Structure 1
Amino acid sequence: MTRPIALVSADVRPADGHVWHAAAATYLEALIAGSDAVPLILPSLGPAIDLDAVLARVDGVMLTGSRSNVHPALYGGVASEANGPYDTQRDATTLPLVRRALELGIPLLAICRGMQEMNVALGGTLATEIQTLPGRQDHRAAQSDNQDERYGLAHEITVEPGSCLADALGAGPDGGTTRVNSLHRQAVDALAPGLLADALAADGTIEAAHPDGAKGWTLAVQWHPEYWVASDETSKRIFAAFGQAMRDWQSRREG
């Protein structure tokens, strides 16, 4: 069997007089090292992409984090300069991608912005600038030029027993806790119908979720397991579970 192929979401960014569709190397390298998969970047071209044609050829989908936020108009919010930047071309690609991947049962791992995309795609809402809300901790990255410090493990989360995350981590009947990093300004507010919370931070922030009765392996996490996949056990287990789900799908797809 060949290595499974993982479709990876792309940000749209101007640079050098051109518009680029790109994904950060950390996500691509984590798929290779942690899932033993081949990453394939999907350009954010919205309706110009035939999703069924692409999804028929891949074994999983990974939605990456990003500096940009999901546009508030998509969940009944109001756009502002403070809440930006936005990437509407990515929104127009990833939200339909989430819905179609779930309909087909293709394994799906959604990270940070990806988790927020999944929630909005399924009818949920987001809370913006959560560090300003009463009782909420500051989930933004540490102020540092050192990436290891910015992505350092920052706080504990409580894992819901019997959840997709608990399964991936090999957690016992009580679910337990694990330590994660934190680099976000917004988070899930109202959880979409049909989504279940897999983990919570101490301040109530939903840190992981999966769809109830999903056809295929699906996990959304608010933190960044891709950064520490080589050394952190929680990160390793998430990418290993995604890799196994993709290999299982590949076996069925190749029949």
Structure 2
Amino acid sequence: MGFDKLEVVRKLLAKAERAATPEEAASYTDKAVQLSARHGIDAALLAAADPGRDHPRAQRIPVHDPYSAGKARLLAWTATALGCRAVLHQARGGRVGAVSVVGFAADRERVELLYTSLLLQAGAQLARQRPPAGESVAAYRRSWLHGFAVQVHRRLSEAERGAAEAGPGPGAPTSTAVALAERAARVESAFAAAFPAPEPARGRSLSGSGYGPGTAAGERADLGGTGLAARPRGRIGA
């Protein structure tokens, strides 16, 4: 992400964190999300004008327990919303050891920034969550995290579509639709080359009642990330 845009996003999100009301925080957050999406369109247009400036590559990102499968879905769905492809690397006992994200460097950077921020947010919120009496804490948290990831994916996808529909800025040599189509084709080609036979995703039923609260948390989640360079990757609380 360009330095100027990244700095603006960080400042908007810092204001959201200090906001006096949820409505004020949401206003700053929405602006940050829109700017991040706009960056994705700008990067696509720059790449279309100069195809040699950036190439889609695979980046393997480790995923740790607890709730590695839920974290992996959050990462993979964030990646797909931002124009990348993802494959989950399964481990024993239904766990996921890592996720490989295939995409252009500008988009992979956005994915990693957002995922790091979302993981920290989810961890902080899950630490305060309590399931109904008699329900397994682990089951509740798995379903909560699933709902959180679903809602985050929806919000990011909407922001990306909105930025694409707004069209290119003045003087852009390539239409947004053409640039995005070419970009998607190059990502698909790189994904097929890197993973000609990707591991099949394992279906998993979730029995906990945390899906609804998780989607509500995903609706409120800060989708930009601020101060991430100084933060380690979070671990969702046990």
TM-score by length of 2: 0.27
Largest Rg, 1 or 2 = 2
Q: Return the structure number with greater helix share.
A: 2
TM-score by length of 1: 0.25
